[in-house]
Amino acid sequence: MQTVTRAGLIIILLLNIGLRAKAQQNIQFSQYIFNGLSVNPAYAGYKEDLYVNAVYRHQWADFPGAPRTGGVSIDGVTRAPDNRVGLGVQMLFDKLGPQEALSLYGNYSYRIPLDNEDTRRLCVGIGGGVTQYSIDGTALQYTDNDDVALPNGKRSVWVPDARFGIYYYTPRFYAGASVMDLFSLYTDATRYSWKGNNYSTIRKTQHLYVTTGAMFPLSENLQLKPSILVKEDFKGPTNLDLNAFLLISEKLWLGASYRTGVKLWNKSNLPTDLEQLNAASIMAEYYAGDRLRIGYAYDLNINKMAGYQGGSHEISLGFLFPSKRFTVQSPRYF
């Protein structure tokens, strides 16, 4: 048996917990509210103008081997009649101790207008891409140099993937649902084997996302935006995000989020004593002019991990390239 450093030991323990509980593995961003493409391919083209978003997240600061996640996306509508076709490209990376994932997706959305004023649309989207899963054996230190349970150096494999979603919006309301990692059930587990050792625990599982939210005017310069996100992988605990934002003078968003587990139905494979509490977040988004958005989120764990790490930090930038071909008919709050 290999012996590992403190950082490596903690990571292995986390991976073993994930293996037993089949916990959710998908990339997590607190500021998904300002870039719906990260959870739904049907969101592509929602802003109609060309939109670029970048985000970086350092989760569980000061925790050895803590997750570091980032992504860049760009989306907009094509020259098709009535702005019916939205296209988007998204690149993501995720690193957790010795394991890494690098993904590239293309997204297509068909946007069906539901009124003559073009303020309501039903969007149907699909996405496809590839993910490179990697295990870096050099990230762990062990005394038995002949132990073949861990790879020597870095080992990688490319796996195809697909996603599907629907998205409905009006100027003041939205709702959507998506299924991510569609190919995960059909991917041959031998892809994740090196030298006779199986590392299929790094493989993602299918996820269902359900989102909804609305805008409520409180005064001339103040609006309230509550929203929810339900994340389900049908194996681990169901996660629920409750969010509330205030929009001040169309320039500054101030908000908070509460993330917890919920028991929608019994799952026989889960321990009965799992803690449901997860994290709380505070967020601020500032619009520097009509094009640039600057955002920051801080997550504080409220479970038993709270005393072992310094919270999670996330920064994001969004930039809109206004088009001369058309004028957006209604504000884009989602």
- In this predicted model, what pLDDT tens digit does every residue of 115-138 receive, in sequence order? 988 899 999 999 999 999 888 877
The residues, ordered by sequence, that sit 6+ positions from 126 with a Cβ below 8 Å of its Cβ are 41, 107, 108, 162, 163, 164, 165
Q: Tell me the average pLDDT across 53-82.
A: 87
Residue ranges with strand state E in 78-120: 85-96, 99-113
pLDDT in tens, 160-194: 899 999 999 999 999 999 999 888 766 666 666 66
Nearest to residue 202, comparing CAs of 272, 270, 103? 103
**What are the residue boundaries of the structural domains of the chain, listed by start?**
40-144+153-321
Lowest mean pLDDT among 41-50, 222-231, 262-271, 274-283: 262-271
pTM of the model: 0.84
Report whether 225 contacts 244 (CB < 8 A): yes
Q: Looking at the domain covering 40-144+153-321, what would its CATH class be? A: mainly beta
Distance from C-alpha of 183 to C-alpha of 166, rounded to nearest angstrom = 18
- pLDDT confidence of 4, banded at 50, 70, 90? very low
Position 17 scores a pLDDT of 36
Report whether 74 contacts 89 (CB < 8 A): yes
Q: Rounded mean pLDDT of the chain?
A: 82
- pLDDT confidence of 7, banded at 50, 70, 90? very low
Helix or strand holding residue 14 (H, E) = helix 6-21
Report whether 164 contacts 179 (CB < 8 A): yes
